[in-house]
Structure 1
Amino acid sequence: MNQTTRDPAVETHGNFIDGKEIEAGNGTFIDVLNPATGMVIARIPNSTPSDIDRAMKSARAAFEGREWGGMDIRARARLVNRLADAFEANLETLYRLETLNNGRPLNETRAQLSRLPDFFRYFAGLAIARRDDVIPVEGPYLNYTLRTPIGVVANCTPFNHPLMIMCKSLAAVLASGCTTVVKPSEYTPLTTLKLAEIFVEAGLPKGVFNVVLGYGAEAGRFLAEHPDINKLVLTGGTEAGRIAGSAAAKVFAHQTLELGGKTPVMVFDDFDVDQAVNYAAFGAFIGAGQTCVCGSRHLVQESIYDAFVEKLAAKARSIRIGNPFDPETQLGPVISARQRERVLTYSQLGREAGARAVAGGDIANVPGFEGGYFVQPTVFADVKADMRVFQEEVFGPFTSVTPFKDEAEALRLANDSPFGLGAAIRTRDVARAHRVAAGVKAGIVWVNDHHRLDPASPWGGVGESGIGREFGLESFNDHFNVKSVMVATADKPFDWYSATATQTRLN
């Protein structure tokens, strides 16, 4: 991605602050490319600290202002539901813009984005259903809690699922009464900007949802370091999480960090091999494998291992790669030339380590799209736990297969990783499914499925996969500060110092 001066022949965007797009301050621009063609489709600014500060001031003013900050809970819930309706009314535009910007096949994009309006409806429901607690305590006291929105949420989002990952945070932000400044990936800013415009047109007060643009290492860092943030949400690599999380910790901001992953998929021999292969292809290659819960380590019981490897290789070779806007396309490009090179590098590492390439491992040639960043769906077999392709996140259409003898070895291999975001189990043995789900180190476990989520179900990882949870009550509640109120209900005189020796309780 190049940093350039402005070219009037290409659409240029500014930051979205205080309800409208505005120019950023430094006058330099970043090319936004269509990964299917390598062509420039837009330019965006690389925001400066003063640009970030302007957005933060807008968010803070909205949070403290009467129009948003003083809005009744039920009125806010009704507004969030109207935003969901506006989102739904613009889905066709958003489908096409996201496919253009990140290269996912239109069918995939449509299937994912059509779920997102319900994220907002779910959290709007939580806002209405919210209750504070009355806590029974010893003595003549009434103790209750009050929850108040925490304030301004800084959200750094990735390129792989631009709208979906952003909306996981945004829905809770809006329903709780917080405000936000979002820094989308420099690769995929277009649908985030469009949604901000849609929401303001639908009645969202200005300053509640701001968007700042630029490189993660610069604009993203400036945002995470801003002294006025109350919560940091970041989805990205583990190292980025360490840097941003350390910065936000200096101001004691709440944090939700979804970081890297190396999802183990344990396939037991009581599960149908053909069905296991279909799930494996879906888990490994959906979104061109550019997802933190990509099924990247398949652990397969020895008795079905050879059949699984043969069938998965054949399945990978059958996947149709091509124009993301063609309804027949099943796999689009990776996001950039840099990401394509990363996948090819790991293919070479796998070969050098002695693993067996049974499918893919090279550039995919797509006639008419020679400038695009296409990679063949890649499968390596006979992968050992000490190989880099077993231990490190590739983030592309790349998966490995490793044999195991029994349940104990499957769990040992699955847990042989610093990551702990997703895990999957394929078995028809109900007791085994529950045992393995309890024993695997992961924040999300799928039994006989993959990639499924719901706004009511908490989402997040352990270890180097991050901290905190999105979705569910866990996410909603983390957007509030909790205040405990203790009320003395006894109507009698009190003077500690009149009879100190006879007092029996201090607190």
Structure 2
Amino acid sequence: MSKPHYQLYINGEWCDGSSQQRMDSINPATGEVWATFACASAEDVARAVSGAKAALDHHSQWAQLTATERGKLLYRLAELIEQNAEKLGEIETKDSGKLAHETVAQTRYVSDYYRYFAGLADKLEGATLPIDKPNMHVFTRREPLGVVAAVVPWNAQMFLTATKLGPALAAGCTVILKASEIAPCPMFAFAELIEQAGIPKGVVSIITGDAGNCAIPLTSHPDIDKIAFTGGPDAARHVIRNSANNFAVTSLELGGKSPIIVFDDTDLESAANGLIAGNFGASGQSCVAGSRGFVQRSLLPALIERIEQKAKSIVIGDPLQPDTHVGPLCTQAQIERIKDTLRKAVAQGATIRFGGQPPQDETLAGGNYFCPTLVECPHTEIETQTVEMFGPVMSLVAFDTEEEAIAMANDSDYGLGSGVFTQNLARAHRISQKIRSGICWINTYRAISPIAPFGGYNQSGYGREAGSESILAYTRTKTTWIDISSTPMANPFVMR
């Protein structure tokens, strides 16, 4: 059986790119090539940007649509996503190794993001200003920011695309979506739905490729007006440097090393499940992974015991099977990084309570599997407490006081997510205000909604995605002055 091949989607046309470069997509569960995809060159990037800029021209079909009509296109896209959730989810699972029951469910839920932004499209309002000049009528309006470069990683890409593409299209922008060259195939399948929804040519292009041929030419292109980037801090620094060429408005979501604080008055079952969700959910491949766990000392032994018992029933295996809890990691490089980090942690005095190695099951030998791992650390300087591994590794440290827990939680360069488990409502409010993170979950973890803003502090980036305020980031304000007096304009050499 021939392997599927995915082409670039540029200005409403499917192509293999000017360089004819192709890459293999490796199924992380088997280690085998399951598909190929085309890669973009700088010439292809320029063509996509040119088409996106042309689609903003006031004579174009896209620019002439009303905000309500744009919303209707997004509603149609949402319907198509929901109808094709199983197909898109299965492609994403083969491509990235994420569990099928999560990719399908997440894709289906992503349709609600597009519905949310569809509803916001005609809610962008200007204002009439109570200006201090009696003969002037002054008002503002929101206009599309322009051409958007949206850069997304391979993990949770349908979700991360929705938080960029949804508000951008609702605001009237055009978008070049740059998918990761690791596991980009779902994005090209998604492009088919863009076409079916009736979104005009040039409004959305979807490409992929390496940094030199694709990412750098895109983010540094002089006609890019906004860059919406999700990835790591090192890549983000390059993006910021590239934006010096176009002065593009930039928003960054950069992942993190999120803290989860567990107090001794918490519900033990809830806390154990929260830590498992924050560390082993999505095989730990989550930007909000709660891999810095802080547990009140008196509760730590009982909590570790409860987690150990639960870990015995975790099923590691084929991500396409509905009973699998933990699938493969996306790349072999992640496995090597985890092994190296664990070696350093043990040398520093940490104890691996379970896991710490690939599974022994021979049927999984060809894939990028790693067992869920719990590391008990004597202090916060242990490697597993400081390094973002992007794998199923939980790292726990004991604390004694609330102040100590807050200090530990904030002792990080990151600040995306955080979690607090306590039955004390006053304490929950206090800590949520004191933790430096963009998101704080109380007695739960890893919950999302199109209604709730998503973003971080510090090296977890800036700007917010989702929520009603996110659409404003894809607009600019224009102020219009109208002289309503009946007399000619006065002295031209005096500012009015």
Match of 2:231 in 1: 236
Q: Using the TM superposition, give the Cα deviation of residue 97 of structure 1 relative to its aligned residue in structure 2, in angstroms.
A: 1.1
Matching residue's letter, 2:20: G
- Measure, in 2, the Cα distance between the counterparts of 1:204 and 1:494: 46
Match of 1:52 in 2: 45
Instruction: Encode CA deviations 1:476-507: one digit per residue, 9 max, x unaligned.
Output: 00111111123344445653489x8xxxxx56
Match of 1:371 in 2: 366
Match of 2:457 in 1: 462
* Aligned: 1:452 with 2:447: yes
Q: Is the 8 A contact 1:74 1:127 kept in 2?
A: yes
Match of 2:62 in 1: 68
- Measure, in 2, the Cα distance between the counterparts of 1:286 and 1:217: 33
Instruction: Encode CA deviations 1:39-79: one digit per residue, 9 max, x unaligned.
Output: 11112233221111111112122222521111111111111
Q: Using the TM superposition, give the Cα deviation of residue 13 of structure 1 relative to its aligned residue in structure 2, in angstroms.
A: 2.5
Q: Is the 8 A contact 1:366 1:374 kept in 2?
A: no
**SS of the residue 1:295 aligns to:** coil
* Aligned: 1:165 with 2:146: no
Match of 1:3 in 2: none
Match of 1:18 in 2: 11
Match of 2:138 in 1: 143
Q: Using the TM superposition, give the Cα deviation of residue 442 of structure 1 relative to its aligned residue in structure 2, in angstroms.
A: 0.4
Matching residue's letter, 1:297: R
Q: Which stretch of structure 1 is more off in the superposition, 43-52 or 488-497?
A: 488-497
Match of 2:278 in 1: 283
Match of 1:175 in 2: 170
2:119 to 85, 106, 125: 125
1:31 to 24, 36, 42: 24
- Measure, in 2, the Cα distance between the counterparts of 1:497 and 1:485: 19
**SS of the residue 2:40 aligns to:** coil
Q: Is the 8 A contact 2:54 2:60 kept in 1?
A: no
- Measure, in 2, the Cα distance between the counterparts of 1:271 and 1:490: 68
Cα 1:119–1:193 shift into 2, 3 Å: same
Structure 1 residues not aligned, in runs of 5+: 1-7, 501-505
- Measure, in 1, the Cα distance between the counterparts of 2:363 and 2:383: 35
Match of 1:190 in 2: 185
Matching residue's letter, 1:16: Y
Q: Using the TM superposition, give the Cα deviation of residue 280 of structure 1 relative to its aligned residue in structure 2, in angstroms.
A: 0.6
Q: Using the TM superposition, give the Cα deviation of residue 100 of structure 1 relative to its aligned residue in structure 2, in angstroms.
A: 1.3
Q: Which stretch of structure 1 is more off in the superposition, 107-116 or 397-406?
A: 107-116
Match of 2:316 in 1: 321
Match of 1:426 in 2: 421
* Aligned: 1:359 with 2:354: yes
1:404 to 395, 399, 417: 399
Cα 1:352–1:217 shift into 2, 3 Å: farther
Cα 1:210–1:366 shift into 2, 3 Å: farther
- Measure, in 2, the Cα distance between the counterparts of 1:216 and 1:297: 31
- Measure, in 2, the Cα distance between the counterparts of 1:325 and 1:271: 35
Matching residue's letter, 1:123: F
Cα 1:90–1:380 shift into 2, 3 Å: same
Instruction: Give the alignment's TM-score, normalised by structure 2.
Output: 0.96
- Measure, in 1, the Cα distance between the counterparts of 2:478 and 2:29: 51
- Measure, in 2, the Cα distance between the counterparts of 1:249 and 1:460: 23
Q: Using the TM superposition, give the Cα deviation of residue 388 of structure 1 relative to its aligned residue in structure 2, in angstroms.
A: 2.4
* Aligned: 1:210 with 2:208: no
Instruction: Encode CA deviations 1:96-132: one digit per residue, 9 max, x unaligned.
Output: 1111111112111122111111111111111122211
CA RMSD of aligned residues (A): 1.8
Matching residue's letter, 1:253: A
Matching residue's letter, 1:270: D
* Aligned: 1:391 with 2:361: no
Q: Using the TM superposition, give the Cα deviation of residue 222 of structure 1 relative to its aligned residue in structure 2, in angstroms.
A: 2.1
Match of 1:503 in 2: none
Q: Which stretch of structure 1 is more off in the superposition, 363-372 or 53-62?
A: 363-372
Matching residue's letter, 1:346: T
Matching residue's letter, 2:61: E
- Measure, in 2, the Cα distance between the counterparts of 1:92 and 1:267: 37
Q: Is the 8 A contact 1:44 1:214 kept in 2?
A: no
Q: Which stretch of structure 1 is more off in the superposition, 42-51 or 259-268?
A: 42-51
* Aligned: 1:99 with 2:93: yes
Size of the aligned set, in residue pairs, is 494
Q: Is the 8 A contact 1:317 1:359 kept in 2?
A: no
Match of 1:42 in 2: 35
Matching residue's letter, 1:356: T
Match of 1:84 in 2: 78
Cα 1:20–1:67 shift into 2, 3 Å: same
Matching residue's letter, 1:149: P
Q: Is the 8 A contact 1:383 1:390 kept in 2?
A: no
Matching residue's letter, 2:17: A
Matching residue's letter, 1:59: A
**SS of the residue 1:122 aligns to:** helix
Instruction: Encode CA deviations 1:315-342: one digit per residue, 9 max, x unaligned.
Output: 2343110011111101110001111111
Match of 2:467 in 1: 472
Matching residue's letter, 2:268: V
Q: Which stretch of structure 1 is more off in the superposition, 325-334 or 46-55?
A: 46-55
The percentage of aligned residue pairs carrying the same residue is 35
Match of 1:116 in 2: 110
Matching residue's letter, 1:50: E
Instruction: Give the alignment's TM-score, normalised by structure 1.
Output: 0.94
Instruction: Encode CA deviations 1:240-271: one digit per residue, 9 max, x unaligned.
Output: 11111221233110111100300000111110
Instruction: Encode CA deviations 1:311-370: one digit per residue, 9 max, x unaligned.
Output: 223323431100111111011100011111111211112111111101111112444332
Cα 1:443–1:81 shift into 2, 3 Å: same
Structure 2 residues not aligned, in runs of 5+: none
Instruction: Encode CA deviations 1:272-311: one digit per residue, 9 max, x unaligned.
Output: 1222001110111111111110011111111101111222
Instruction: Encode CA deviations 1:150-182: one digit per residue, 9 max, x unaligned.
Output: 111111111111211111111111111111111
